[in-house]
Every structure is written in structure tokens, then in C-alpha cells.
Amino acid sequence: MIVAQLTVFAYPSGKKTHPLVVSLQSNLVDIADSVVVAPLTPAHLLANAGTRLFPEVLVDGTSYRVLIPQMAAVSSRSLRGPVANLTNERAAILAAIDLLFTGI
């Protein structure tokens, strides 16, 4: 299953602290049954975290932080119904990934 980049999904395994994940993998890459995602956590749980590494995004009017350092590959079958798309946050998310891997 090809998952569109920057699509937000419900993630039942994430419970209350990580109820959503965002796909980070390019639409052009289809690797078996997995997709690289980063969890989203309610922004108030990371009130003191920098927004550059943990970009703040809105999903259905609620603020979340994207936990870029916790990105991982998960089974695409574990993702439940797309709930949002963060294409408008692309620059901030890619900047966080760049900071994590290159320090820039």
C-alpha cells in the first residue's frame, strides 16, 4: 500500500500520548508493507521543547508536536484512516528532519 507523504493517520498503538502519526516517506517509495512515520503528541506535553526539532502542527483544531527524533518504520496495515494532511507544514517538517540528520 502506498501511503501519501505527510498524511496523518490514527495510530491505535500510540494510546493517549501518541494518538496520531504522520507519514514521512516519499510517495515514490513503496517498501514492502512498511512506511516511515513520526508520532504526533499533544503540544502541551512538550511545552518546553523547541519548535525547530519538534514542529507544532494543527490537526482538527488541536495543536500537536511532530516527534521527529522518534521516527520509525511501522506496518502500513497498522495505520487507520487518514485524518489530515500536513502538506502546508512541509517546510517545517523537512527542516526538523534536516536538523536531526545533518545538524543544519
pLDDT tens profile 57-97: 999 999 999 999 999 999 888 888 899 999 999 999 999 99
Q: Scanning the structure block, which residue is given the C-alpha cell 496520531?
A: 20
Give, as one character, the DSSP assignment of residue 59.
E
pLDDT of residue 14: 66
Instruction: Tally helices (H) and strands (E) across the chain.
Output: 1, 7
d(CA 19, CA 14): 5
**Hey, what's the cell of 38?**
513520526
The CATH number of domain 7-102, selected from 3.40.50.10800, 3.40.50.970, 2.30.30.110, 3.40.50.300: 2.30.30.110
Greater confidence (27 vs 99) lies with 99
On whether the CB atoms of residues 26 and 7 are closer than 8 A, the answer is: no
Task: For the beta carbon of residue 62, count every other beta carbon within 10 angstroms.
Answer: 13
pLDDT over 70 percentage in the chain: 97
Closest C-alpha to 67, from 101, 6, 18: 18
